[in-house]
Structure 1
Amino acid sequence: MNLQISLISLRTFVEVARFRSMKEAAQSLGVTPGAISQQIRIVEERLGTVLFERSSRDMHLTAEGVRLMEALNLPFQQIQDAVEDFHHRKPKRDSLVVTTVPSFASSWLVPRLGKFSRLYPDIEVKVDSSVALVDLRHEPVDVAIRHGSGNYPGMSVTQLLTPQLVVIGSPAFLASVGPILAPSDCLALPLLQDRDRMDWVTWFRAHNVDDPSGRAARGTSFSDDALMIKAAAASQGLALVRDIYAEEAIGNGLVEVPIAGSIGTSLSYYFVTKPQNVQRQRIQAFKNWLLAEIAIRPNL
């Protein structure tokens, strides 16, 4: 007689004995009642005995079934306890929730997060890039990367960087319009605008370019720099965008900087967290990594 019985079959027997129901045992093990019935049949055939008395309402162990259940119940419980003990002893990954604006997340932070994960594999970063600003005082957020004046009462604030506005255009577009030798040359070209249509106006003023016709404020406008960079890459015109957002597109050759003359912006990016969280290891690690990445940024 072949008495070899798999652990799967024996585990199935134990579950049916506990629930006194093939249907409930199937739900517990995540299989079909038919699979349960087949495993019970295998055990009974290998042992050459009937283990259950079946009725229309439930199942009862026979005397032989009781003997087998008494022999198997403790070992299976010990296996379960060992697995649970291993799970509880296993080091858990630290979770770090970061909130920031969509443009910063998509254009700068997310492409670099792989570096952080390789350096700190036990810290699991969760990025929230919803448009609405999250209230750090009441929401389960560890870090906010904010674009603003730096005035965040009651928070620990570290300045990360102040973006520069740079002119970009696609290689194909720039080849079609010829060289741009002076800031005033840009006025004759299609200009892609920010939401408020003020960046180009500010840029021309900073370079002492007269614009009596108001040409600097005309052109298709976009709600954020990421969309404007895509439009520039599609040869729709010149864009004036924050350098931090343009780095990836420039590095990939999608756009180029045709003329020097970047200007600083009035707002900066800040690392913001609750004062009581400043010394937490995962937050310190993330801040130090951000500052290191910013330090090695290319000059556009």
Structure 2
Amino acid sequence: MTLRRKLPSTHALFTFEAAARSGSFSAAGRELNVTQPAVSKSIAALEEHIDTKLFYRGKSGLKLTPEGETLHRAVQLSFLAVETAIDQISGRNRPDDAVMLSLSTAFAAHWLIPQMEDFRGSFPDLTLDFQLTGGEAIGPISPCDLGVRLDTNVSSGDRAAAFAPEWLIALASPEYIKRNGMLDASSLKASHLLVTLASPRIGWQEFLNRTNQSLSMLLPEMRVPDYSVVIQTALNGRGVALGYVTSCGYLLREGILVPAMHRSLRTGHQYCLAYPANSRSRRAEEVGDWIAERTRVLLADIEGLTDQAD
């Protein structure tokens, strides 16, 4: 079934995105040059067509439902991809003082942004643009200048250099561990919540099997489509996340998140810095070198925090 058949109209996506971004049917109407009732009618038709409520409507305004948030993230990413492609084919190339990164939201939010002050110290005049994905970043790097990819996800047309192992650690906030204890404790508490991606490549059961660990009781899981939310749930002290060190290394080193089990998993795969084969951006290479060096230091700092299974 095509996307066109799943929607009452393609314009419904533009209306939904404007309403979700602004939090107001009136504001969306002004942006789209239509009336507030027209926006409301378009959203209602979309909700009826997909048989799903996308907004909570109240006196305090609009709020996205969980399903609405999922659709909004997908629409934002899709619109960004279209905008990027149009810029690329229309010749509006980035200046020499700008680099576009293709990353997961988790790597951007929980690894790069916390170290932005150090980054700005090394690149005070550089503009960063982002192409982000909620799950594992895949696909060709172009039109971006630099991306992070698992070795199995590097496109054949890109050149890549490994910079970090794929290393998973069960992580939680110190307050969560104090309240609930470790996951591998002899007297496991039923209050634990396991958090993971909705369709993980390595889920909790595989992680436990490959590290020769087990849980003394069946625990509930929460599965979300955006890995950044997985990490944020752990940061908020609401669950235990399977943390990829490439995304969580800074949080782990700073003690913001701590191991929730004594054994971790190195899969044997590597994360790579990938570049378009036909691009030789000096600034992108410099940013890649900075990421690789910061990662090297982080890995050295957290080595030995857990026993590692291969």
Q: TM-score range by the shorter chain?
A: 0.5 to 0.7
Query: How far is the alpha carbon of 1:134 from its aligned partner?
Result: 6.4
Please say if 1:165 is aligned against 2:172: no
Q: How does 1:200-279 map to 2 (within 5 A)?
A: 200-209=204-213, 215=218, 218-251=220-253, 253-265=255-267, 267-278=269-280
2:76 corresponds to: none
Q: How does 1:65-214 map to 2 (within 5 A)?
A: 94-130=97-133, 135-137=140-142, 139=143, 141-178=144-181, 185=188, 189-196=192-199, 198-209=202-213
Query: How far is the alpha carbon of 1:109 from its aligned partner?
Result: 2.0
The structure-2 alpha-carbon separation of the partners of 1:121 and 1:185, relative to structure 1 and needing over 3 Å to count, comes to: same
Secondary structure, aligned partner of 1:208: coil
1:290 corresponds to: 291
Distance 1:144 1:172 in 2: 34
Q: Runs of 5+ in structure 2 lacking a partner?
A: 1-94, 306-310
Secondary structure, aligned partner of 1:220: strand
Q: Runs of 5+ in structure 1 lacking a partner?
A: 1-91
1:100–1:145 CA contact under 8 A, matched in 2: yes
2:163–2:272 CA contact under 8 A, matched in 1: yes
TM (norm. structure 1) is 0.56
Query: How far is the alpha carbon of 1:166 from its aligned partner?
Result: 1.0
1:54 corresponds to: none
2:140–2:158 CA contact under 8 A, matched in 1: no
Q: How many residues align?
A: 204
Q: How does 1:25-36 map to 2 (within 5 A)?
A: none
The structure-2 alpha-carbon separation of the partners of 1:258 and 1:211, relative to structure 1 and needing over 3 Å to count, comes to: closer
2:22 corresponds to: none
The structure-2 alpha-carbon separation of the partners of 1:290 and 1:255, relative to structure 1 and needing over 3 Å to count, comes to: closer
The structure-2 alpha-carbon separation of the partners of 1:283 and 1:173, relative to structure 1 and needing over 3 Å to count, comes to: closer
The structure-2 alpha-carbon separation of the partners of 1:99 and 1:238, relative to structure 1 and needing over 3 Å to count, comes to: closer
RMSD: 3.3
The structure-2 alpha-carbon separation of the partners of 1:258 and 1:121, relative to structure 1 and needing over 3 Å to count, comes to: same
2:10 corresponds to: none
Q: Which amino acid aligns with 1:201?
A: Q
The structure-2 alpha-carbon separation of the partners of 1:243 and 1:186, relative to structure 1 and needing over 3 Å to count, comes to: farther
1:166–1:262 CA contact under 8 A, matched in 2: yes
Secondary structure, aligned partner of 2:258: coil
Distance 1:230 1:180 in 2: 19
Q: Which amino acid aligns with 1:284?
A: E
Q: Which amino acid aligns with 1:195?
A: A
Higher strand share: 2
Percent sequence identity is 17
2:26 corresponds to: none
Q: Which amino acid aligns with 2:179?
A: S
Stretches of 4+ moved more than 6 A in 1?
none
Of the structure 1 ranges 116-125 and 247-256, higher mean CA displacement relative to structure 2 is found in 247-256
Structure having the higher Rg: 1
Query: How far is the alpha carbon of 1:177 from its aligned partner?
Result: 2.9
The structure-2 alpha-carbon separation of the partners of 1:223 and 1:135, relative to structure 1 and needing over 3 Å to count, comes to: same
Distance 1:252 1:283 in 2: 27
Q: Which amino acid aligns with 2:235?
A: A
The structure-2 alpha-carbon separation of the partners of 1:150 and 1:186, relative to structure 1 and needing over 3 Å to count, comes to: farther
Q: Which amino acid aligns with 1:166?
A: I
